[in-house]
Structure 1
Amino acid sequence: MVIKRALLSAVLVLLALVLQVSVLGRLQLPGATPDLLLLVVVGLGLVFGPSGGCLTGFAAGLLADLAPPSDHAIGRYALVLCLMGYAAGLLRAEPGRPRSVLVPLVVVAGAALVSTVLYAGVGALVGDTAARHVGLPSLMVTALLYDLLLAPFVVPAVMLLARWADPSAAGGEVNGPGLGTIARYRTTRESSGLPSSGRKIRTKS
């Protein structure tokens, strides 16, 4: 399972990085650039949890730091995506608990805003004033808009592939929250000497 998770994460991160650099980075959109890597990291974090999201985010960010035409300090984006992956993993649904379809969008919205501020803040510490020239509010608004437009097409697909790679990481959502609840109820009743219907067992004396 670990190898399958690692291979899937590597493929998704590399694919997102190629599209980020060769397609999205050349669109010359006003303000920020759509962050496909962030969406992939958030989707994997929501399934694999804090440790998986953190490791994936760090690896994805480090690759983005090294990939041309990178013009910022190495490790800057790795730190941002590492934190975003960890935070997304903390919001992973508990086994057997249903989750609203709006939760991934809310997580993406928060990650888009926080990552933009963190990236600009770390840049200011190392002398990068590009965000100051463009305007941080403009970057935050455009990053939020672009990422939310891409999220419904990217995040659900990433989460579906992640659950396929490691069904145990999906908790009770693989079989559905209702089926997971029924299974646990039956196990509890049978271990206490009661049938699954809830009626006591009668024995002849």
Structure 2
Amino acid sequence: MSPIDVPADNGVIIGEDGLARTPWAARDPLLREYYDTEWGLPVRGEQAMFERVSLEGFQAGLSWATILRKRPAFRAAFDHFDPDAVAAYTEHDVARLLADAGIVRNQAKIRATISNARATADLRAEGGLAEFVWSFQPETTPRPRTPEEVPTTSPESVALSKALRRKGFRFVGPTTMFALMEAVGIVDTHLVGSHRRGSSGIWQRP
């Protein structure tokens, strides 16, 4: 038997450590570490939430593994996603970022991140970005047993996308916002058979 086995009944992959994970997190060490220690855990702070919104926006059209590998460079380039620092960026900073090979050099996404930082600052008058995003938490969470059962959007992610756009945010489409909601614990889309199911402490297993 190979060190990684794929059970036919529930879609998870059993790693060499004996733990069951969703297939996307089973083989790449970086993705596995992210899955085991961060993905799906609640994010409540403004700066942390702004970072997640920004990275999800940069991920659009790319693989998450690409973004995760560039994450240290993104943090260095964007002042660790301090909204006030990013909101103050000028055209000089846009040029600097476009010249930074360590990040995704997409001008539209870079400019969106800067404008989103300004929108984040504006949201403080309404309780802040994190509280705003969490206000779209659904009453129930998906309970996927196979990767095919994991949704890519939800009524809440559609509503969150529209609400953020009204607040001036960009690159926050419904699919991107559903990915955000998964990443920060608002919904739990760990497969029912995964060792991480219920790890957010918000949703009960299964």
Fold in common (TM above 0.5): no
Q: Which has the larger radius of gyration?
A: 1
Structure that is richer in helix per residue = 1
Output the TM-score relative to the length of structure 1. Answer: 0.28
